[in-house]
């Protein structure tokens, strides 16, 4: 049976106490119990979540909403319990109309939930939070969506401040439609991304099993997209995203073995939470909207939170909103040279250097306090231009100067100038007696020169279907260095081994 529609009037406890039992029972049946949330002691939620910038207030949304007309407006705006388990982390940069609208929508459907707004060196929304009763933090610009060290720290700080059982992360292009209908089923969850998988699974599972014996990073876990609309248990954030625990992952190793996407926030969070053994699952209360205006690509049609692709008909709804003159007073530029200068709207990827962060901003506020430097291999792979010209990436190195040398890769092995090599005749995954496996790309390069054979790649690959080491590809008549977690024998592959010299 569907629930009764809420009545605008409910009998007070006093009324029930003076009426005959049968009449009181009928009132209870038709109108329900008195609402505790309507008593004066529970009515001032905003006072609990004051911004340091000023006293909170309650205001109606003044944004024109033609472009979000598809957002449903249910009558039930959620519970009035000040101990609501959900707090909201809004990760923002610009788009003031979208941010202001989103804060008000969260307040509408989650009136007792605290809201924490963090700007990645973008607009300053302190006036908005002073008016609406949220917490605002302006962090130095870092394009943290592509650099997990500041991204994780900022989400960690939000979880500390919100102090709720769950933290729901929103981005300006999310829309909020209702109070949560489907309670979170796991420790972490987000949009369903079908068919997605990640590499170095055994590396991650080995780390996780130190905390959670038997932990498996499943394909179902990997199919959860941790973008806007995702939820996180506070305890999971405080564990997995702490400075110490997130740095137990070898980020240079991950970046070298895989691709630069490992540094994007959605991918990086998967590795961080899985490496600590936290359960991750898709969440039907977060929906991905695609080319169909009404039917989600994944997630429930009546999901509480919706995320939009750029292909959505008419564009992302909140990005079509217009500011009123009144709301234009609720934000200002932050002083980080948003419209011009070296820090303006940077989209630099794989550009983090903790030493440079400290030089630019004077402290490690809003980032990991443990020093981190990219490896030389990653710098050469993603910024080869800096090998021959002065630096023009101010977050990575000082402009006009030559960049410093990156950290040496762990996998680098010296080459014996007298080494000789043997190309095996049969497929196998290990070298026979009196020979040994090659250990690095540079050793494989040396083998290519001496055999001679064409070297297919100057960087190592990660191919689980091939054996580890220096591999000859029979159909292609070339060699490459393979660095899988395990690898296996392949009928179309032959190993190249180094011949051991007798003493």
- pLDDT tens digits, one per residue of 361-397: 999 999 999 999 999 989 999 999 988 889 888 888 8
Cα torsion angle, 67, 72, 76, 81, sign: negative
The 10s digit of each residue's pLDDT in 112-128 is 999 999 999 999 999 99
- Identify the pLDDT of residue 388: 87
Q: Is the peptide bond before 338 cis (omega within 30 degrees of 0)?
A: no
Look-up of token digits 């024998």? 489
Q: What is the DSSP letter of 166?
A: E
Higher pLDDT, 56 or 425: 425
Q: What is the DSSP letter of 144?
A: G
Query: How far from the centroid of its chain's Cα atoms is residue 490's Cα?
Result: 36
The 10s digit of each residue's pLDDT in 8-47 is 334 443 343 334 444 444 444 444 444 333 333 323 323 3
- Identify the pLDDT of residue 5: 37
- Asked whether the beta carbons of 275 and 217 are under 8 A apart, the reply is no
Tokens of 131: 């008016």
Return the closest-CA partner of residue 169 out of 235, 279, 91.
Answer: 91
In b/e form, how buried is each residue of 50-83, taking b as 16+ CB within 10 angstroms?
Answer: ebebeebeebebebebebbeebeeeeeebebebe
Q: What is the mean pLDDT of residues 260-273?
A: 96
- C-alpha to C-alpha distance for 367 and 153, rounded to whole angstroms: 5
341: buried, middle or exposed (CB in 10 Å: 19+, 13-18, 0-12)?
exposed
- Asked whether the beta carbons of 457 and 388 are under 8 A apart, the reply is no
Tokens of 454: 């064409």
- C-alpha to C-alpha distance for 13 and 20, rounded to whole angstroms: 13
Examine the pLDDT at 183 and tell me if it is beyond 60.
yes
Cα torsion angle, 38, 39, 44, 49, sign: negative
| Helix, strand, or coil (residue 361) | helix
Residue 181's pLDDT band (cuts 50, 70, 90): very high
Return the closest-CA partner of residue 381 out of 198, 469, 271, 255.
Answer: 255
The 10s digit of each residue's pLDDT in 226-242 is 999 999 999 999 999 99
Q: What are phi and psi of 231, to 5 degrees?
A: -120, 155
- C-alpha to C-alpha distance for 9 and 477, rounded to whole angstroms: 82
Does an H or E element contain 423, and which? strand 421-423
- Identify the pLDDT of residue 339: 52
Does an H or E element contain 289, and which? strand 286-289
- Identify the pLDDT of residue 334: 87
- Asked whether the beta carbons of 373 and 339 are under 8 A apart, the reply is no
**Neighbouring-strand partners of residue 422:** 497
- Identify the pLDDT of residue 87: 98
CA distances for 253 relative to 73, 156, 229, 258, angstroms:
48, 24, 30, 8
- Identify the pLDDT of residue 121: 92
Residues with Cβ < 8 Å from 414, sequence gap 6 or more? none
Tokens of 453: 């054979």
- C-alpha to C-alpha distance for 385 and 9, rounded to whole angstroms: 70
pTM given for the model: 0.74
- Identify the pLDDT of residue 252: 94
Neighbours of 98 (CB within 10 A): 24
The 10s digit of each residue's pLDDT in 287-345 is 999 999 999 999 999 999 999 999 999 999 999 999 999 999 999 998 887 555 555 55
The 10s digit of each residue's pLDDT in 184-241 is 999 999 999 999 989 899 999 999 999 999 999 999 999 999 999 999 999 999 999 9
The radius of gyration of the chain's CA atoms, rounded to the nearest angstrom, is 28
- Sheet with 305-308: strands ordered across: 175-176, 305-308, 286-289
Examine the pLDDT at 468 and tell me if it is beyond 80.
yes
- Identify the pLDDT of residue 140: 94
**Neighbouring-strand partners of residue 378:** none
DSSP 76-99: ------TT-SEEEEEEESS-HHHH
The residue ranges of DSSP E strands in 97-219, in sequence order, are 115-120, 135-139, 166-170, 175-176, 188-192
- Asked whether the beta carbons of 114 and 49 are under 8 A apart, the reply is yes
- Identify the pLDDT of residue 460: 80
- Asked whether the beta carbons of 193 and 225 are under 8 A apart, the reply is yes
3-state secondary structure 369-422: CCCCCCEHHHHHHHCHHHHCCCCCCCCCCCCCCCCCCCECCCCCCCCCCCCCEE
- C-alpha to C-alpha distance for 79 and 179, rounded to whole angstroms: 8
- Identify the pLDDT of residue 338: 55
- Identify the pLDDT of residue 22: 45
- C-alpha to C-alpha distance for 404 and 272, rounded to whole angstroms: 28
Tokens of 348: 């630099």
| Chain length of the chain | 503
- Identify the pLDDT of residue 289: 96
**Neighbouring-strand partners of residue 224:** 192
- Asked whether the beta carbons of 479 and 421 are under 8 A apart, the reply is no
Q: What are phi and psi of 397, to 5 degrees?
A: -155, 165
- C-alpha to C-alpha distance for 444 and 470, rounded to whole angstroms: 6
- C-alpha to C-alpha distance for 356 and 351, rounded to whole angstroms: 10
């Amino acid at each position: 049976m569907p629930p009764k529609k809420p009545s605008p009037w409910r009998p007070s406890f006093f009324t029930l106490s003076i009426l005959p039992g049968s009449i009181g029972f009928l009132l209870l049946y038709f109108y329900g119990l008195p609402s505790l949330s309507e008593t004066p002691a529970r009515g001032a939620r905003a006072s609990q979540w004051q911004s340091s910038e000023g006293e909170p207030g309650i205001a109606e949304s003044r944004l024109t909403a033609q472009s979000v007309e598809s957002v449903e407006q249910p009558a039930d705006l959620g519970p009035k319990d000040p101990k609501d388990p959900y707090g909201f982390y809004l990760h923002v940069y610009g788009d003031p109309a979208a941010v202001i609208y989103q804060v008000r929508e969260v307040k509408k459907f989650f009136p007792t939930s605290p809201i924490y707004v963090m700007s990645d060196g973008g607009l300053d929304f302190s006036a908005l939070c002073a008016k609406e009763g949220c917490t605002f933090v302006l962090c130095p610009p870092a394009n943290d969506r592509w650099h997990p060290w500041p991204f994780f720290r900022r989400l960690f700080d939000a979880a500390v401040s919100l102090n709720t059982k769950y933290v729901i992360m929103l981005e300006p292009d999310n829309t909020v439609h209702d109070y949560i209908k489907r309670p979170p089923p796991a420790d972490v969850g987000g949009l369903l991304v079908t068919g997605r998988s990640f590499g170095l699974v055994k590396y991650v599972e080995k780390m996780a099993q130190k905390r959670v014996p038997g932990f498996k990073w499943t394909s179902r876990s990997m199919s959860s997209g941790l973008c806007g609309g995702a939820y996180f248990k506070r305890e999971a954030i405080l564990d997995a995203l702490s400075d110490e625990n997130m740095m137990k992952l070898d980020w240079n190793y991950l970046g070298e073995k895989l691709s630069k996407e490992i540094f994007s926030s959605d991918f990086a969070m998967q590795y961080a939470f899985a490496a600590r053994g936290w359960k991750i699952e898709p969440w039907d209360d977060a929906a991905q909207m695609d080319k169909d205006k009404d039917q989600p690509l994944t997630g429930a049609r009546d999901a509480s939170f919706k995320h939009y692709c750029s292909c959505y008909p008419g564009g992302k709804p909140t990005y079509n909103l217009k500011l009123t003159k009144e709301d234009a007073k609720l934000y200002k530029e932050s002083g980080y040279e948003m419209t011009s200068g070296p820090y303006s709207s940077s989209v630099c990827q794989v550009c983090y250097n903790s030493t440079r962060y400290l030089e630019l901003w004077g402290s490690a506020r809003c980032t990991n306090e443990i020093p981190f430097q990219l490896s030389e291999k990653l710098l050469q792979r993603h910024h080869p231009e800096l090998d021959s010209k002065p630096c023009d990436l101010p977050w990575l190195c000082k402009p006009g100067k030559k960049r410093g040398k990156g950290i040496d890769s762990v996998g680098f092995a010296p080459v014996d100038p007298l080494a000789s090599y043997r190309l095996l005749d049969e497929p196998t995954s290990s070298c026979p007696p009196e020979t040994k496996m090659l250990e690095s790309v540079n050793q494989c390069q040396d083998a290519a020169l001496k055999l001679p054979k064409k070297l297919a790649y100057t960087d190592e690959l990660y191919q689980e279907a091939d054996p580890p080491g220096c591999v000859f590809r029979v159909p292609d008549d070339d060699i490459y260095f393979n660095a899988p977690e395990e690898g296996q024998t392949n009928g179309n592959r032959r190993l190249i081994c180094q011949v051991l010299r007798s003493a």
